[in-house]
Structure 1
Amino acid sequence: MFTHRAKKHENSFVSAALAVVFTVFLPQPVHADSVTPPPVPADIQVPAGNKAFLVGHAEGTQDYICLPSGSGFAWTFFGPQATLFNDNDKQIITHFLSPNPFEADASRVTWQQSQDTSTVWGAGIASSSDPDFVQPGAIPWLLVQVVGAQDGPTGGGKLTETTFIQRLNTSGGTAPSAGCDLSTDIGKKALVRYTADYFFYKQDD
């Protein structure tokens, strides 16, 4: 009797263990990420035939330098420096200004994937400061067209299908209102903090 009960208990344990193993290793359903941009002004809408596939939440600076302008002086934008994070606060992309090898090294805003270093360069084609969408004192919302794309050195291409990028939900980042008034201010830099959401688009299959 003791042996029978022990054997029965052992069989129950094995069955339970196998159930756990099969639960762990059976293929799990795959859910595609859903990227839904917010409403935007009509002049920065992405052309039909493209769909959003990635969003990054940026934290960084918009960088300005004081230069001569006309008969005076003005803060002149010379590039962004930002890190883009996903919804889990994991770094996914860096954003900066760099030479575009597809345009004879013309300086373009750049996005580089943090893991595979695939890179895209963009040119702004439209902007909006529509007060129905853009916060007071925030840099404009933008529509950027990709003008260069390059796989990472090991062939990674998480960004290289990108066709357009929108900069939305901006806060901060505008040039200072003072501090660039005299010849002695020439060369002075201002790194102005900003946040934004960048939505990446590719051709709709």
Structure 2
Amino acid sequence: MMIRTAIALAAVSLVAACGTMAPMAPTYSQAALPATVQVPAGNKVSMETVGVGDITYECRAKAAAAGEFEWVFVGPDARLLDRSGRQVGKYYGPPATWESADGSKLTAVQLAVAPNVAGSIPLQLVKANPAMGAGAMQGVTFIQRVDTRGGVAPATPCTAATLGSKQVVKYQADYIFYKAM
């Protein structure tokens, strides 16, 4: 009886202590980002993921320059991982689509980009379109792409001889999802 009472008192104390704790703050802050890719006020972080995967580029003729060629972004193919490394979704395209493991998914419209360190794709802010399906993507308003590593167009020349060829490059980026408060 005494042991049961002691356990009950410990449980009550633990619940009371947890009730007075402040909610965990998001681990991500956008304060150091360029203003162009900061999320507007009135939105809060709903999910943080790390995208790890590939970006495909294709060698194509430049539209406005006869006889010139360039590597053109075709689309991403990445796993979305939570901060502990567990896969929680995927990111693919075209069109650029973020899909949660629960089946909900969305596309988005690019609002802004900002340069990142050399050799890495730019930081990005997109406005989410309404989600398809119920789940984690439902209600997402904005997505930021930050802390990018790699993913830039291939360094190999894009020429008439390589026209139409595709190259895949590795990349990683944090995708931070926001919902209206």
Q: TM-score with structure 2 length normalisation?
A: 0.84
Provide the residue aligned with 1:178 in structure 2.
Answer: 156
Provide the residue aligned with 1:105 in structure 2.
Answer: none
| Cα distance change, pair 44–87 in 1 and its aligned pair in 2 (3 A) | same
Q: C-alpha separation between the residues in 2 aligned to 1:135 and 1:122?
A: 24
Residues 161-193 of structure 1: per-residue CA shift (max 9 Å, x gap): 1000000011111001223112x3122111111
Provide the residue aligned with 1:157 in structure 2.
Answer: 135
- 1:16 partner amino acid: I
Q: C-alpha separation between the residues in 2 aligned to 1:27 and 1:191?
A: 52
Root mean square deviation, CA, Å: 2.3
Q: How many residues align?
A: 172
Provide the residue aligned with 2:98 in structure 1.
Answer: 111
Aligned pairs for 1:1-205 (under 5 A) are 15-16=2-3, 19-20=6-7, 29=18, 32-35=23-26, 36-38=28-30, 39-69=32-62, 70-71=65-66, 72-98=68-94, 108-114=95-101, 116-129=102-115, 134-151=116-133, 156-182=134-160, 184-204=161-181
- The offset of 1:59, in angstroms, is 0.8
Q: C-alpha separation between the residues in 2 aligned to 1:22 and 1:63?
A: 59
- The offset of 1:20, in angstroms, is 5.0
| Percent of aligned positions that are identical | 31
Q: C-alpha separation between the residues in 1 aligned to 2:99 and 2:52?
A: 15
Residues 125-144 of structure 1: per-residue CA shift (max 9 Å, x gap): 10001xxxx22211100001
Maintained 8 Å contact 1:143/1:164:
yes
Q: Secondary structure at the match of 2:145?
A: strand
- The offset of 1:34, in angstroms, is 2.8
Higher alpha-carbon Rg: 1
- 2:129 partner amino acid: V
Residues 79-124 of structure 1: per-residue CA shift (max 9 Å, x gap): 11111111211111200114xxxxxxxxx3110001x111011111
| Cα distance change, pair 23–66 in 1 and its aligned pair in 2 (3 A) | farther
Which ranges of structure 1 fall in alignment gaps of 5 or more residues?
A: 1-13, 99-107
| Cα distance change, pair 150–25 in 1 and its aligned pair in 2 (3 A) | farther
